[in-house]
């Protein structure tokens, strides 16, 4: 596979370079050579494609209220939603952009176009481009080729590239449950801080609940501990179902 990449000291005409097109809130589109794209170019951008949910359609699409972005992020399948949940839960991720741009490049003498599923920014300043595909589709040579040329371009640019096909189902189920507590204000801040002051490193969840409840029903104090788990101030073994014997660890 031959992808048109710019070689040092050999200028190219703009149309022959790999290009990125980014759409913005005011409906404008900016075309940028891939070599010049920076994180700041995605500020105030919107998804390249408009995602619609229509009765009877094959894919499950919609919007997810992201705690990281403090607003909606679109997805086009349940598998994309799962990857989106993981990104929102990941404390190192500072930005999540769905359908972030259109990439156009000459590949093997043909003009190819590609819209990545997600672009993830981290607080450390790194970038990860993510494409989501079911494992079964990764055996299709056309899919393999369609994912390979963007990888070459993205990694040449110095960004990370990931093809994601799923994660441990127990971990995903735990994170789906905790996502109910992701937004500030769902649990009053005073209750969260009281729980933080009460919980001890190495507590089992049931023990922490009993101590915090002080004779009240445990279910009344549980949301504050769930909010701490979502925020990353507490953690546990998410590969096991979240239950009373789950061991809590303080991280913050």
Please report, for residues 57, 95, 146, 152, 172, the alpha-carbon distance to residue 137 in angstroms, rounded to integers and kept in the order given.
19, 28, 11, 20, 21
Backbone angles phi, psi at 191, to 5 degrees: -70, -40
Say whether pLDDT at 7 is over 50: no
What pLDDT is recorded for position 60?
A: 81
**Tens digit of each residue's pLDDT (9 = 90 or more) over 158-185:** 999 999 999 999 999 999 999 999 998 9
**In the listed set 138, 164, 190, which residue is the last one of a domain according to the structure?**
164
Task: Answer yes or no: is 110 within a domain.
Answer: yes
Q: How many CB atoms lie within 10 A of CB 56?
A: 4
Listing DSSP states for 78-102 in one string gives HHHHHHHHHHHH-TTEEEEEES--E
Are 151 and 177 within one domain? no
Task: Answer yes or no: is 97 within a domain.
Answer: yes
**Tens digit of each residue's pLDDT (9 = 90 or more) over 23-81:** 999 999 999 999 999 999 999 999 998 876 555 555 688 999 999 999 999 999 999 99
Q: How many domains does the chain have?
A: 2
Are 61 and 132 within one domain? yes
**Tens digit of each residue's pLDDT (9 = 90 or more) over 207-237:** 999 999 998 999 999 999 999 999 999 999 9
Please report, for residues 54, 149, 191, the alpha-carbon distance to residue 187 in angstroms, rounded to integers and kept in the order given.
34, 45, 7
Are 106 and 219 within one domain? no
**In the listed set 164, 184, 213, which residue is the last one of a domain according to the structure?**
164
pTM of the complete model: 0.89
Are 178 and 110 within one domain? no
What pLDDT is recorded for position 108?
A: 86
| Domain coverage including residue 97 | 14-164
User: Residue 68 corresponds to which tokens in the numbers above?
Assistant: 């990281």
Share of the chain above pLDDT 90, in %: 85
Task: Answer yes or no: is 4 within a domain.
Answer: no
Task: Answer yes or no: is 211 within a domain.
Answer: yes
Q: Which residues contact 95 (CB under 8 A, 6 or more apart)?
A: 39, 42, 68, 69, 119, 120, 121
Q: How far apart are CA 95 and CA 106, in angstroms?
A: 29
Are 141 and 199 within one domain? no
Are 59 and 159 within one domain? yes
Are 186 and 159 within one domain? no
**In the listed set 137, 164, 191, which residue is the last one of a domain according to the structure?**
164
Are 30 and 133 within one domain? yes
Q: How confident is the model at residue 11 (pLDDT cuts 50, 70, 90)?
A: very low
* Average pLDDT, rounded, for the chain: 92
Are 219 and 174 within one domain? yes
Are 77 and 191 within one domain? no
Are 31 and 107 within one domain? yes
Are 219 and 137 within one domain? no
Q: How many CB atoms lie within 10 A of CB 234?
A: 23
What pLDDT is recorded for position 10?
A: 44
């Amino acid at each position: 596979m031959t992808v048109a990449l710019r070689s040092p000291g050999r200028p190219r005409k703009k149309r022959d370079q790999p290009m990125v097109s980014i759409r913005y809130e005011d409906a404008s589109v900016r075309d940028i050579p891939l070599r010049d794209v920076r994180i700041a170019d995605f500020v105030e951008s919107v998804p390249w494609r408009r995602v619609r949910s229509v009765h009877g359609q094959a894919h499950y699409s919609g919007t997810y209220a992201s705690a990281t972005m403090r607003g909606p992020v679109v997805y086009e399948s349940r598998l994309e939603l799962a990857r989106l949940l993981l990104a929102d839960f990941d404390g190192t991720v500072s930005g999540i952009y769905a359908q972030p741009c259109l990439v156009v490049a000459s590949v093997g003498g043909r003009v190819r176009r590609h819209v990545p599923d997600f672009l993830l920014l981290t607080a450390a300043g790194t970038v990860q481009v993510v494409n989501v595909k079911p494992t079964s589709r990764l055996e299709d040579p056309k899919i393999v080729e369609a994912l390979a040329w963007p990888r070459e371009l993205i990694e040449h640019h110095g960004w990370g590239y990931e093809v994601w096909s799923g994660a441990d189902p127990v971990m995903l189920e735990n994170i789906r449950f905790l996502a109910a507590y992701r937004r500030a204000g769902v649990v009053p801040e005073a209750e969260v801080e009281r729980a933080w002051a009460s919980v001890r490193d190495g507590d089992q969840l049931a023990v922490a609940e009993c101590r915090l409840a002080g004779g009240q029903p445990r279910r009344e104090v549980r949301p504050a501990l769930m909010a701490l788990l979502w925020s990353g101030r507490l953690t546990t073994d998410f590969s096991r179902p979240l239950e009373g014997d789950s061991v809590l660890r303080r991280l913050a």
